[in-house]
Amino acid sequence: MLNTDPTHSHTYDAHGNMTCCSLEEKIYARTEAQLKSEAHHDHSDEHGEAAWWQQYLPVAASLVLLLSAVAFDNWLKPDWFSGWLRVVWYVAAYLPVALPVMREAVAALRKGAFFTEFTLMTVATLGAFFIGEYSEGVAVMIFYAIGELFQQAAVNRAKRSIKALLDVRPDTVNVLRGTKTFTVSPGEVLPGEFIQVRPGEKVALDGTLASETASFNTAALTGESKPDTKTKGETVLAGMINLNTVAEVRVTSLFKDSKLSRILELVQDATARKSQTQLFISRFAKIYTPVVFFLAVAITALPFFFVEKYVFADWLYRGLVFLVISCPCALVISIPLGYFGGIGLASRNGILFKGSNFLDVMSQVNTVVMDKTGTLTKGVFKVQKVDTAPGISPGKLVETAAALESKSTHPVALAVVEFFGKDKIMLPVSAVEEIAGHGIRGKVAGDDVLAGNLKLMQKFGIATPPEVAEIVETFVLLAINGQYAGCITIADEPKDDAKQAVADLHGMGIQTVMLSGDKSSVVQKVAAALGIDRAFGDLLPEGKVEKVQALKSENRRLAFVGDGVNDAPVVALADAGIAMGGLGSDATIETADIVIQNDQPSKIASAVKIGKLTRRIVWQNIGLAMAVKIAVLALGAGGVATLWEAVFADVGVALLAILNAVRIQEMSFSTPT
């Protein structure tokens, strides 16, 4: 980038070498700093326009002067355009674009870093002036500057795709204190206070809904635009947009501790965690640049000892062509830009990668291991079936069971009450006794009622049908006045897109495995319904670890998908740990490598697709850049290519690579449901 920021500096190691290419620093270090400083304030108006003119005006002025000089030299040929005036004209065209590059070269030299892109461009263009090729020397610097402007535009585009996330945090919030409403900064609101969110406004802090009901747009957090209706007491998160009515929210955490703030930090920090490809290119550039510089010197000097009619200017020209085309900009710009675009695309789709290295990992995954409850199933028990004994109506059975189970807090009991209707009037209940590991007993409308498992029926000598023992799902057996009355079957439902998620993974040649602590019969039934390849139940956490280790011993590249808390050992063992529904758990955000912000398992396939897409584009750029450079380097060394061709080849391949990388940011990516 043609740098006009006086605060910009490069990083050097203990030996005085640049730790990474300048463009990479600008994309990662500088962009991250700008993102954080611009989180609440956008100064793009008058200051932005000034910076825009500082960048584009020098290039425009130099280009006008160069084009006019070329016209005077080749077509108009006025008598006055000669001698010292001609030289001054070309110098005037050269300096606006050359001085910023020279300043960067000098700054690098002071740190002991000679082999930088700035030094290459400075040496090449001054060499062209030395042998009288003024127009070509100016052209090299102008087109280099134009290429850098395109690069900066692409970086800004990538930055905006991430910065859009920051814009979901409002600058002010309406807090209720006493009988008055005050407009304050979100950072001034304490847990326990109440805030008011009007229709169309963004929720500023995490909390629970104090109003009876309200609908929110959660697209900024989950990538899904479908409204989410909340009722009193349910969790509301910063970044949600209130849709229909004034809502009051009781704040539960500080602004800096909100889920959204944590997520934004993850996205910003992700840019610093580089993939193996990026690290290789950085190391490659450190070796490549000095090698090609000395090759350029050799092309210029060595022919003196072997060529009969050695002309220094001719061989210097060949060396300069070699120097210009050797600049590794296309590689070190387009590669981090491609990964940055991949992170942005994933973020817009509700998938947070904690580093570009995990984009690479997901592109190579051949096995996805998944937890059952909360990952592939909803994690909420619901009544599936009601079977009754002769003479008992289903309505009577459910009404009686719900009345008794309303006195219990067990998830199964809550499912029965929910099925009956928790707002309905319950039958009178008395003499309630919970029997641990068995169930509950009591009097319901004067009848003696038992509700529980098979062991409870056996304990009280209640005869049950033989088919009850064959039921795979969780169930509640009921007995009324010492007689078997019926069975209520309860199960955890698969998520709506779980089957499609498994099919999508199979479509990419990825094997699916399910691990669960639930009983094996339930696990096998869910696996069969969803089409999962292998499933294992009755597993403790250490059992899951053993299964994952066995899979890894088969040289499988695997990702594990779970809640990120109970499955932390397995998440750490997997090549990539994916947290499902990361907005619900702080520990999930901390543990996982990739966070899926909603509960859709179909996003797993999306993460793989984005990883493969990013890697494919990055390697396309590497192949394009290397092929063109090798070809033009050979032509330059042989005296066939000119400086004009060298600069067009260098800038052209860089622009093509940038445009290819930018494609990631432009893609409209959707997940089948």
Phi and psi at 113, nearest 5°, equal -100, 105
Burial class for 377, CB neighbours closer than 10 Å (0-12, 13-18, 19+): buried
Q: Which two tokens stand for residue 201?
A: 């406004």
Q: Say if CB 66 and CB 139 are below 8 A apart.
A: yes
Phi and psi at 313, nearest 5°, equal -60, -40
Count of C-beta atoms within a 10 Å radius of residue 393: 11
**Torsional sign, CA 153, 157, 159, 160:** positive
Distance from C-alpha of 270 to C-alpha of 282, rounded to nearest angstrom: 18
Phi and psi at 181, nearest 5°, equal -110, 130
Q: Which residues of 232-262 are buried (b: 16+ CB within 10 A; e: fewer)?
A: eeeebbbbbbbeeeebbbbbbbbbeebbbbb
Nearest to 639 by CA among 306, 328, 329, 303: 303
Q: Active site residue: 228, 360, 371, 599, which one?
A: 371
Q: Which two tokens stand for residue 79?
A: 């008598």
Helix, strand or coil, per DSSP, at residue 235 = strand
If residue 512 lies in a helix (H) or strand (E), which one and from where to where?
Answer: strand 511-515
Active site residue 371: yes
Nearest to 489 by CA among 379, 385, 381, 413: 385
Partners of residue 451 on adjacent β-strands: 440, 478
Max CA pair span of the chain = 120
Distance from C-alpha of 105 to C-alpha of 122, rounded to nearest angstrom: 8
How many helices, marked H, and strands, marked E, lie in the chain? 23, 22
Q: How far is CA 511 from the centre of its chain?
A: 24
String of DSSP letters for 18-65: BSS-HHHHIIIIIHHHHHHHTSS---TTHHHHHHHHHHHHHHHHHHHH
Q: Which two tokens stand for residue 210?
A: 């104090």
String of DSSP letters for 250-283: EE-S-GGGSHHHHHHHHHHHHTTS--HHHHHHHH
Alpha helix positions (H), 273-423:
276-301, 303-306, 312-325, 329-348, 356-364, 394-405, 411-420
Phi and psi at 447, nearest 5°, equal -95, 145
**For the packed helices 329-348 and 643-666, what is the interaxial angle rounded to 10 degrees?**
10
Report the first-to-last Cα separation within the chain, whole angstroms: 42
Cα–Cα distances in angstroms (integers) from residue 286 to residues 116, 290, 304, 625, 633, in the given order? 9, 7, 29, 17, 18
Distance from C-alpha of 132 to C-alpha of 192, rounded to nearest angstrom: 76
Nearest to 26 by CA among 619, 18, 232: 18
**Catalytic annotation, residues:** 371
